Amino acid sequence: MRDLRICFVGDSYINGTGDERCLGWTGRLCERRFSWDYRLSFYDLGIRGETTAEVRARWKAECEARFPETADNRVVVQFGINDIGVVTGEGRQIEEDETVEEAEAFLKEVSDLYPVLWVGLPPANEACSPMKPSEGLEVSFSQDAATALNERFKTCAEKLNVPYFDLQAPLLANRDYMSSLTRGDRMHCDGTGYAMIANLVNNWEAWDGWFSE
């Protein structure tokens, strides 16, 4: 029997922060595909506030601890939104070139070891910027920066031959999603927003392919 294990690695959007249903998009996605027949186990390894470099630094130890050698082990990643955050008085957290360099090295590391899918960063929450994600921290997000990083990520994914899902285009065009960013914790989308992301990824042929093999 197939013993499918999936690690979702990334930042607060992977974690599902601010979702009143406590599932996030990853939980909703797995719920749709849940089956005891292939024994789906999944691990949510999203950490709030992490940049690409921080996600990259821990992914391997955390995934290896969760993947038995005998199982069908796979990884889904999403990151980058924190890199573009501009901290009041300090500037942008990580410059675009450095993010792309880290992203490429990260995806290379993962894809050398496991099947991997890359979900792009979500739209910036300009409407609620600047926001205070934790005590003593004030951050602003710009959509121009998110759009630019998403384009660079697409190019990088193509180069590495890793499937990339562009969340920017469909979510920016979705008024309900954009308004979900202004509800909830006013930093992330609320549950309705996470459900929209789950729907998009659920219909993605690269994800679907993992279940029809």
Under the rule (CB under 8 A), what is the footprint of a copy of itself? 3, 5, 12, 15, 17-18, 20-23, 27-28, 30-31, 34, 36, 39, 41-44, 47-49, 58, 61-62, 65-66, 68, 70-71, 134-137, 184-186
The CA distances from residue 9 to 101, 174, 186, 195, in Å, are 18, 25, 23, 18
Other beta carbons within 10 angstroms of residue 13's beta carbon come to 28
Specify the residue, 115 or 184, whose C-beta has the smaller distance to a copy of itself: 184
Q: Residues 131, 181: contact at Cβ < 8 Å?
A: no
3-class secondary-structure state, position 21: coil
Specify the residue, 125 or 150, whose C-beta has the smaller distance to a copy of itself: 125
CB 105 → a copy of itself: shortest distance, Å?
Answer: 19
CB 65 → a copy of itself: shortest distance, Å?
Answer: 6
CB 114 → a copy of itself: shortest distance, Å?
Answer: 17
CB 17 → a copy of itself: shortest distance, Å?
Answer: 5
Specify the residue, 31 or 151, whose C-beta has the smaller distance to a copy of itself: 31
- Could you identify the residue written with the tokens 């308004």? 179
